[in-house]
Amino acid sequence: MNYNVNEKGYYGEFGGAFIPEMLYPNVEELRQNYLKVMAEPEFQKEFNQLLKDYVGRPSPLYLAKRLSEKYNTKIYLKREDLNHTGAHKINNTVGQILMAKRLGKTRIIAETGAGQHGVATATVCALMGLECIVYMGEIDIARQAPNVARMKMLGATVVPALSGSRTLKDATNEAIRDWINNPVNTHYIIGSAIGPHPYPDMVTRFQAIISEEIKWQLKEHEGRENPDYVVACIGGGSNAAGTYYHYLHEPDVNIIAVEAAGLGVDSGESAATSVLGKEGVIHGCKTLLMQTPDGQITEPYSISAGLDYPGVGPMHAHLAKTGRAEFMSITDDQAMKAGLELCKLEGIIPAIESSHALAIFEQKTFKPNDVVVVSLSGRGDKDLQNYIEYFKI
């Protein structure tokens, strides 16, 4: 079984590029060039240098002793929370801004929901001195004031999307409209392992630095490159894709994907796409997504803004369908409890997204000798208000 993308842009039956005719030249330019550009030694050198000096990589692989003791298994945390800007998203935006420069683009657009990807994009635009326009739903702008302020400080223009529900999907529509109107000088930075081919594969390759590092770091710690399990939370699926990438075809490594169940998988307030989703097209690719019987995308819900997405990247749809990955659903309550537990046991305040991945240890028993690597995708600073309100701190 092949779990990578094929030359047509598919993971099994999922993926492809379902885009308006007018967008075809933009996506085709990227498709024809992305692998060639990424293979250039000069590109590799600049990417790796920035990951080291600007992002702060390699991120540590940390043996969480007290957490391991509590669950009687060996738990390692891959510390993406220690990256510049506080999460894994910067790995992808650094890669894509270098790609944009190689393709001669001078203007960057992006869409953002909670604002995390908008901040990561505005950051690299400032770094490279490129114009940055971030589309964001009017409702989200009101809800996410600190991230809007960050983007503005970094020099980005934040444009409100005023149509529809005035949230993420409307911002995406605006970004696509912009790209159609500016095909020559503009690159569209997509923030997760989603979108039309080649985006899911390109984003996965930029995030694959995560599992590349885990391999040599685990060898140092344990004398072997392969853990028994790799675990990551899934919104669109970019931190997960990077954490799994170099293990996809290693049958001794079990893959666990953690989705947000919100108030409960059957509550109607959930984002557990692998359970509730049906095949459909979203953001230009065929994948699993939550929809009504007549094909309208349903509003997802999760306490964590980063997992609040109605679909899942096509690679993960394929991993779910083939059974290569075990999918688990974690509720808001389970995640919040696991997040607070990490604070008390290890002195690390995790992003609520990452807390979902940590919550599996209450649901599933591992063997004492199992080595379990969990992607700690981000830090909890941005979620402080949520934690305060939830625990009445």
Ligand X SMILES: *Cc1c(COP(=O)(O)O)cnc(C)c1O
Selected range binding ligand X among 96-104, 164-172, 181-189, 236-244, rule: CB under 6 A: 236-244
How many alpha carbons fall within 13 Å on the CB side of residue 338?
Answer: 22
Among 68, 74, 111, 169, the one annotated catalytic:
111
Residue 353 interacts with ligand X (CB under 6 A)? yes
* Residue 331 touches ligand X, criterion: CB under 6 A: no
Nearer to ligand X by C-beta: 95 or 235?
235
Bridge partners of 131, per DSSP, are 107
Q: Which residues pair with 77 in a beta bridge?
A: 62, 374
User: In whole angstroms, how close is the CB of 192 to ligand X at the nearest point?
Assistant: 3
Two structure tokens written together for 42: 């000069």
Share in percent of the chain as helix, strand, coil (round to 5): 50, 20, 30
What whole-number distance in Å separates Cα of residue 339 and Cα of residue 371? 21
Tokens (6 digits) for 217? 């770091």
CA distance 170 to 158: 14
What minimum distance in Å lies between the beta carbon of 42 and ligand X? 28
Spatial contact of 197 and 285, defined as CB atoms under 8 Å apart = yes
Single out the segment in contact with ligand X by CB under 6 A; choices: 42-50, 155-163, 234-242, 321-329.
234-242
Residues facing 39 on adjacent strands: none
> For this structure, is 89 an active site residue?
yes
- Asked if 89 touches ligand X (CB under 6 A), the answer is yes
Please count the residues of this chain forming the interface with ligand X, following the rule CB under 6 A: 19
133, 156 contact by CB (below 8 A)? yes
Least separation, in Å, of the C-beta of 276 and ligand X? 17
Q: Does 96 bind ligand X (CB under 6 A)?
A: no
Measured torsion, CA atoms of residues 306, 309, 314, 318, in degrees rounded to the nearest 10? 90
Site residues for ligand X, window 166-205 (CB under 6 A)?
192
Does 235 engage in binding with ligand X (CB under 6 A)?
A: yes
Q: Are 236 and 198 in contact (CB under 8 A)?
A: no
26 binds ligand X per the rule CB under 6 A: no
CB of 81 to ligand X, least distance (A): 7
Residue (74 or 255) nearer to ligand X, CB: 255
Among 354, 372, 373, 390, binds ligand X (CB under 6 A): 354
Q: Is 377 in the site for ligand X (CB under 6 A)?
A: yes
> Shortest gap between Cβ of 294 and ligand X (angstroms)?
27
Residue type for position 165: S
State in angstroms the smallest separation of the CB of 182 from ligand X.
25
Residue 111 is a catalytic residue: yes
For residue 384, give every residue at least 6 positions away whose Cβ sits within 8 Å of its Cβ, in sequence order, or none: 349
Binding status of residue 233 toward ligand X by CB under 6 A: yes
Instruction: Name which of 102 and 271 has its Cβ closer to ligand X.
Output: 271
Whichever of 102 and 342 has its CB closer to ligand X, that residue is 342
CB of 72 to ligand X, least distance (A): 27
| DSSP annotation of 113 | S
Is residue 277 a contact point for ligand X (CB under 6 A)?
no
Q: Is residue 238 at the binding interface for ligand X, with CB under 6 A as the rule?
A: yes
Q: Does the footprint of ligand X cover residue 378 (CB under 6 A)?
A: yes
Based on the residue annotation, tell me whether 80 is a catalytic residue of this protein.
Answer: no
Q: Binding marks (x or -) toward ligand X, 299..318, rule CB under 6 A?
A: -------xx-----------
Alpha carbon of residue 286 to chain centroid? 18
| Tokens encoding 25 | 């030249």
Contacts of 68 (CB under 8 A, 6+ apart): 74, 75
By the rule CB under 6 A, 87 interacts with ligand X: yes
Q: Measured from the CB atom, is 88 or 324 closer to ligand X? A: 88
**105: helix, coil or strand?**
coil
Identify the DSSP state of 359: G
Mention every residue, 6+ apart, whose C-beta is less than 8 A from residue 196.
9, 16, 17, 18, 19, 23, 27, 283, 284, 285
| Active-site residue set | 89, 111, 377
Q: Which residue ranges make up the site for ligand X (CB under 6 A)? A: 87, 89, 116, 192, 233-240, 306-307, 351, 353-354, 377-378
